[in-house]
Amino acid sequence: MTGDEARDMALAASLAKSSKDLEEHEYAVRSVADALAPYCSSTNVPESPFVLHLANVMHLATDVTGVVNDSATPVDIFTVINSLHPSAAVCGTPTEVAKTVINELEGMNRSRYAGPVGWVDSRGDGEIGIALRCGLLSEDKRSIRLFAGCGIVAGSIPDEELAESQAKLSPMRTALETL
């Protein structure tokens, strides 16, 4: 986000038409819809994403919803959450191959990064997202490791992906600088 409303609207329009970003987003949406399908009597997957404006970045976003099957053996919400994680948004696709490649290339444990976060009430209703930006405090509480990432597809430009990651880290860095 630039702070210039006209420029931000032009950037949002460009994002909404970007074949690279639409492809990346479609992988994520499809993985969520596919993971929900076995548990739901119906799902709602809008055809087109919307542009989500955050303080420092814009994202393509799609609200995927589902109605859990009514059955003699109700599904536990945590089973559904487990099936959703990791989504293509944070792991890639096909999932098992992508997880192997990520483990080899990153050489680290992602720990809580990109894990599911949200709420679940006593009826089992809830809303879940993923921790795409987070920090992990060291055991001695003297340092923190910040996490943010970008989806990589064939049309990705490394310098642009790095800039996107830096923008995503900016609010956490700013918050930590005030301590």
**Rg of the chain on CA atoms, in Å:** 18
Rounded distance, CA 131 to CA 41, Å? Answer: 27
What does CATH list as the number for 5-177?
Answer: 3.60.120.10
Would you state the pLDDT for residue 124?
77
**Cα-based distances in Å from 12 to 2, 53, 107, 168:** 11, 8, 35, 16
User: How far is C-alpha 34 from the chain's CA centre?
Assistant: 16
Neighbouring CB atoms inside 10 A of 166's CB total 12
In whole angstroms, what is the distance from residue 10 CA to residue 58 CA? Answer: 12
| Model confidence band, residue 21 (pLDDT cutoffs 50, 70, 90) | very high
pTM score over 0.85: no
Residue pLDDT, tens place only, 76-128: 888 888 998 888 988 888 989 998 999 999 888 887 788 889 998 988 778 88
Domain boundaries, the chain: 5-177
Closest CA relative to residue 81, chosen from 134, 36, 111, 133: 36
